[in-house]
């Protein structure tokens, strides 16, 4: 009897230890949007529960994998069809992180549209007009509400740009990233949907996942609570035939992941420098320069000021890199409302763009500082 009790005690002790260790481990999620025409957008979210932080990596079927990728990927025939292409792309994350995945959330076209229509759409801001062939939607350079159909059209990787310059190829690469980070930034306003069991059940029906309903709820609530960082994977420009292509460099990506993860786990310093640029969209003389003179410091470096091409009614803060911890500092310092904060991935060393609209009052701004 004693032996039996000891065995039971040790069993429960081992379960508790295992549970404790699992809570400290990184947890990997794949969030994937796809259709039946070889169009895929992949994101890997790595949660670090100990630090309440997340690392996000993006990859899509527009990217070509570096030829030096390890044997686990290159041994496959390059002419394989959709399903094997899917598996090969998913394995890219394993090559970079050393981990296949814990959980997945997959959305086909129909369910993606239903999911984001149910959420009431996502606000997006574009810095320039985008003209897509065979699209029923207009994409203007301003703040717009994107419902499911328009969101899916926007992130689609079909060859629907009129010109295929290198900048347009990159712009296509970043559309899914732009959508997804804006979605995360706007999750707090949709929190009540994910905490309502009835509505959560409806949302859960729109995805293919190995998460239980309560785990789906925790996933989205953690996205609200956790700080996150978007990890940049190096894309190398290469001309293949008549097309400009972007090659994903696996070895460099793997090293960046290791370095980023190490810094991430150690937590970033509160004194880390933030870089930004300021644009005047209010038609008030020297407004951007005046704001710069008040906020420029050792830890907040304003690298440039300029006049925005057109007037804007509202002041806007744009995150160019995907660092929520830095964004929270700026949000508080600049007193920008959450509804006017957007993510737009740009090829720039500047982390944030502050656009002063006609609603900006410098006297009120200085009183709040």
pLDDT in tens, 205-263: 999 999 999 999 999 999 999 999 999 887 777 766 666 667 778 888 899 999 988 87
What integer best gives the mean pLDDT of the chain? Answer: 81
Q: List CB contacts of 124: < 8 A, sequence separation 6 or more.
A: 143, 144, 145, 146, 154, 178, 179, 182, 342
Task: Tell me whether the CATH fold assigned to 24-266 matches the one assigned to 274-368.
Answer: no
Q: List CB contacts of 255: < 8 A, sequence separation 6 or more.
A: none
Specify the fold of 274-368. Answer: Alpha-Beta Plaits (3.30.70)
Give the helix/strand (H/E) hosting 104. Answer: strand 103-107
Strand pairing partners for 208?
106
Mean pLDDT is lowest, of 23-27, 58-62, 80-84, 335-339, for 80-84
The whole-number average pLDDT for the span 58-70 is 61
Percentage of the chain modeled with pLDDT above 70: 76
The whole-number average pLDDT for the span 15-34 is 64
Q: What is the value of pTM for the model shown?
A: 0.85
Selected from 1.20.120.330, 3.40.630.30, 3.30.1490.100, 3.40.630.190, the CATH number assigned to the domain covering 24-266 reads 3.40.630.190
Say how far apart CA 299 and CA 318 lie, in whole Å.
Answer: 18
Say how far apart CA 255 and CA 248 lie, in whole Å.
Answer: 13
pLDDT of residue 84: 53
pLDDT in tens, 90-137: 788 888 999 888 999 999 999 999 999 999 999 999 887 777 666 777
Identify the three-state secondary structure at position 70: coil
**Which DSSP string do the residues of 118-175 spell out, in sequence order?**
HTT-EEEE-SS-B-BTT-SS-B-SSEEEE-HHHHHHHH--SS-BS---HHHHHHHHHH
Domain boundaries, the chain: 24-266, 274-368
Strand pairing partners for 43?
31, 58
Say how far apart CA 291 and CA 30 lie, in whole Å.
Answer: 41
Assigned token pair, 367: 């009183």
DSSP H stretches of helix in the chain = 2-24, 71-74, 82-97, 109-118, 148-155, 166-186, 191-195, 197-204, 213-225, 250-266, 287-295, 324-334, 362-368
């Amino acid at each position: 009897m004693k032996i039996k009790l000891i065995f039971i005690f040790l069993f429960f002790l081992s379960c508790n230890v295992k549970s404790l260790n699992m809570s400290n481990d990184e947890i990997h999620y794949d969030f994937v949007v796809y259709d039946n025409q070889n169009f895929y957008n992949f994101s890997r979210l790595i949660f670090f529960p100990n630090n309440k932080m997340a690392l996000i990596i993006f990859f899509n079927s527009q990217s070509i994998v570096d030829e030096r990728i390890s044997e686990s990927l290159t041994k496959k025939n390059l002419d394989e069809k959709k399903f094997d292409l899917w598996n090969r792309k998913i394995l890219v994350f394993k090559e970079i992180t050393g981990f296949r995945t814990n959980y997945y959330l997959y959305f086909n076209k129909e369910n993606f549209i239903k999911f984001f229509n149910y959420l009431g759409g996502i606000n997006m801001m574009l810095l320039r007009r985008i003209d897509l062939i065979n699209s029923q939607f207009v994409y203007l350079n301003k703040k717009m509400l994107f419902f499911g159909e328009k969101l899916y059209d926007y992130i689609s990787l079909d060859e629907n740009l009129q010109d295929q310059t290198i900048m347009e190829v990159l712009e296509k690469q970043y559309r899914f990233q732009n959508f997804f980070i804006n979605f995360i930034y706007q999750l707090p306003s949709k929190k009540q949907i994910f905490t309502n069991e009835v509505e959560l059940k409806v949302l859960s029906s729109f995805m293919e996942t190995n998460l239980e309903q309560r785990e789906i709820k925790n996933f989205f609530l953690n996205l609200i609570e956790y700080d996150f960082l978007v990890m940049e994977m190096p894309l190398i420009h290469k001309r293949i035939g008549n097309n400009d292509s972007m090659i994903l460099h696996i070895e460099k990506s793997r090293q960046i992941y290791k370095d980023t993860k190490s810094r991430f786990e150690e937590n970033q310093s509160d004194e880390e420098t933030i870089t930004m640029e300021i644009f005047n969209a209010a038609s008030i003389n020297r407004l951007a320069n005046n704001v710069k003179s008040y906020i420029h410091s050792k830890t907040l470096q304003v690298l440039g000021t300029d006049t925005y091409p057109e007037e804007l009614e509202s002041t806007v803060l744009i995150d160019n890199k995907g660092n929520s911890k830095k964004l929270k500092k700026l949000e508080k310092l600049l007193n920008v409302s959450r509804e006017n904060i957007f993510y737009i991935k740009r090829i720039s060393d500047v982390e944030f763009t502050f656009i002063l609209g006609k609603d900006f009052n410098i006297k009120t701004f200085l009183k709040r500082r």
